[in-house]
Amino acid sequence: MKRLIATVVTAGLVMAAGAAQAELVRKQSPHPVGETVDRLEAVVKEKGLTVFARIDHAAGAKKAGMDLRPTELIIFGSPKVGTPLMQAEQTMGLDLPLKVLVWQDDGGQVWLAYETPADMGAARGLAKDNPVIQKVTGALDNFTSAAVKK
């Protein structure tokens, strides 16, 4: 009986942990990693957002004496948009500013990915149909689509 209870509890914890993860939007890019991030950065800046950081994970790995395929993270946002989300739920600051990861897989294909704003908000108690969440979702889709456009 104890074994059955332990199995049920473990399965429930695994399912709950999986449900809490935000969905990833993945897009293929026809451009190299650096160019994809450059294109995304240009679009973001053109729209008046701030790029807070670009992190080259492959360069970091190299400094540590390890190999990693090209992988970059870009962090960007707008206090005008993000602040209302944090006013509604201050822990949104854990998810903001927005982050987009661009990497090259072992087959040479370049990918771009980000967590859906609706799932990030829902994990913090915000409604998926929150108007600011919807605005961020549309903008993020537009920015990333422009970055991977041929």
pTM for the complete prediction?
Answer: 0.85
Domain ranges in the chain are 22-148
The Cα-based distances of 70 to 109, 114, 134 in angstroms read 11, 17, 31
CATH class of 22-148: alpha beta
DSSP letter string, 52-100:
EEEEEHHHHHHHTT----SEEEEEEE-HHHHHHHHHH-GGGGGT-SEEE
Task: Give the span between the Cα atoms of 37 and 111, in whole angstroms.
Answer: 11
Q: Do the beta carbons of residue 86 and residue 96 sit within 8 Å?
A: yes
Average pLDDT over residues 34-47: 98
List, for residues 12-33, the tens digit of each pLDDT value: 444 444 445 679 999 999 999 9
pLDDT higher at 107 or 19:
107
Q: Could you count the other beta carbons within 10 Å of the beta carbon of residue 136?
A: 23
List, for residues 108-145, the tens digit of each pLDDT value: 999 999 999 999 999 999 998 899 999 999 999 999 99
Encoding tokens for residue 122? 């829902």
